[in-house]
Structure 1
Amino acid sequence: MEESTNEKEMETYTAINKNNGRTEKRTCRKTENTGWISGKSEWEGLCSIFSVERGVVTKNGKPEETSYYITSLCTSAEKLLETSREHWKIESMHWILDVVFSEDSSAVLSENSLKSLNILRKFALMAHKKYVLSQPRKKAYKTSMFDCLLNDNRL
């Protein structure tokens, strides 16, 4: 966000979670002061802009990243942080479907076949996620699925 945006005009919400030996800190900063955005008229319904800073403390270091968003939602920084997390859960599922299952590379042309295969892939992903969560050590989905293909007992 631009330097001239007054800190007092920003609403801030921070969430700290501990998962699997990692400490995750997310901070959402939101402002409804959008007057300085060039081309604002092209974004019908623009209500606010916000950023989400993510930091994870692990045994290997402390990587950080910041993402910026525009939205037509007029809600709290807490709700915007929650909404952005839900968005990434969906995006990660689509990434797995594309990268692990090569869904975008499918040569199937029939719409019914595409829908059926999509349902089967999502079912396989859900079943495999349950399997991965039951294991003592977490593996990458692709590695774990490959192991299942090579070992009938594991499958």
Structure 2
Amino acid sequence: MGTQKKIAEKIIEKNGDYVLSLKGNQTKFHDEVKEYFEDAIENDFKDTEYRTKITLEKGHERIEKREYFQTSDIEWFEEKHLWKKLTSIGMVRRTVIIKEKTTVENCYYISSLDMPKDGECELFAKAVRKHWGVESCHWVLDVVFKEDDSRVRKNNGAQNQSMLKKMAMNILKTEKVTKKKISLRRKRFKAAMNIEFLEEIIEGM
């Protein structure tokens, strides 16, 4: 949906909390938060109260380290009052090591979540992980099923088609027929070209 003031307002009106990713649609805010965390980390968060959490995942020759940072130090932000219940900002540094290759990605967030009084920023980290899960799902639907290229617009056609694609994606993800690990794109192609393979998948549900 994008990081917009109206979205934040609607979430708060429904008695919810938000953790919204700062992207290109909020260029100035993104750059200011980015610069804030770069300076804070460089100075080891001197005179700044913050909370952090670190997770480490290993598997299939891949190591992924995630460092979460959250702070309620946002008085410096001039447009703070324009964002409904803006309480904290956060950053996630994601380091992925695959064999000899290392990639580092920093993502920035705004949130209505209070910074914990002590301990780790577990709630912020949990919200970010769920956010990534949704984005990952959308990425698969776009890459494997070309959802963004769909021109279906009439009546409920777009919603119905999206639901069918999600059902197909979940079936391909959980099928037990394939013994060798292959991509969802190859599974989809094989199911389209081989009716026996498609029948085996459906029968094994």
TM-score by length of 1: 0.83
What is the aligned partner in structure 2 of residue 144 from structure 1? 187
Aligned twin of 2:20: none
- Gap regions ≥5 residues in structure 2: 1-34, 199-205
> Which residue does 1:72 correspond to in 2?
112
The match for 2:161 is 117
In structure 2, give the amino acid aligned to 1:82: K
SS for the counterpart of 1:80 is helix
Distance in 1 between residues matched to 2:58 and 2:47, nearest whole Å: 28
Letter in 1 for 2:80: K
- CA-to-aligned-CA distance 1:28-57 (integer Å, 9 cap, x gap): 011101011232122121110010011112
Tell me, yes or no, if the aligned pair for 2:64 and 2:96 is still in contact at 8 Å: yes
Aligned-partner SS, 2:54: strand
Counterparts of 1:3-152 in structure 2, within 5 Å, are 3=39, 6=46, 8-76=48-116, 77-131=121-175, 135-139=179-183, 141-152=184-195
Query: Identity rate of aligned residues, in percent?
Result: 32
Paired AA for residue 58 in structure 2: K
CA distance in 1, matches of 2:46, 2:83: 22
Unaligned runs of 5+ in 1: none
TM-score normalized by structure 2?
Answer: 0.65
- Specify whether residues 111 and 85 from structure 1 end up closer, same or farther in structure 2 by C-alpha distance, changes over 3 A only: same
Q: How many residues align?
A: 154
How many Å separate the matches in 2 of 1:63 and 1:132? 32
Contact 2:51 2:115 survives alignment (8 Å): no
Q: Name the SS for the 2:102 alignment partner.
A: coil
Is the partner of 1:63 in helix, strand or coil?
strand
RMSD: 2.4
What letter is aligned with 2:187?
A: S
Aligned-partner residue type, residue 88 of structure 1 = W
Taking a change above 3 Å as real, the CA distance of residues 122 and 10 of structure 1, as seen in their structure-2 partners, is: same
SS at match of 2:53: strand
Per-residue deviation, 1:134:
5.5
Write the letter of the residue equivalent to 2:165: R
How many angstroms apart in 2 are the aligned matches of 1:108 and 1:116? 10
